[in-house]
Amino acid sequence: MKILLTNDDGFFAPGIKAMAKALIKENHEVIMVAPEFENSGKSHSITLTEKLNFNKVKIKGIDCPCYSVSGTPADSVRAALHVFGHDYFDYCFSGVNLGYNAGMDILYSGTVSAAVEANVFGLNSIAVSAEYARDQTQFKAAAKIAIDVFNKLHDKTDRVEVLNINVPKLSYEEVKGIKVCRVGGSVMDQYKAEETENGLALSLTMRKPSSDIDKSDRLYLEKGYATVTPLIYDLNNMEEIEKLSKFF
Which domains, and CATH codes, for the chain?
Answer: 2-185+213-236 (3.40.1210.10)
Bridging pattern class, strands 91-98 and 2-6:
parallel
DSSP string, 92-148: EEEEEEES---GGGGGT-HHHHHHHHHHHTT--EEEEEE--BTBT--HHHHHHHHHH
Write the pLDDT tens digit of every residue in 34-75: 999 999 888 999 999 999 999 999 999 999 999 999 999 999
Whole-prediction pTM value?
0.92
Among 5-19, 129-143, 187-201, the least confident range: 187-201
3-state secondary structure of 240: helix
Bridging pattern class, strands 162-167 and 125-130:
parallel
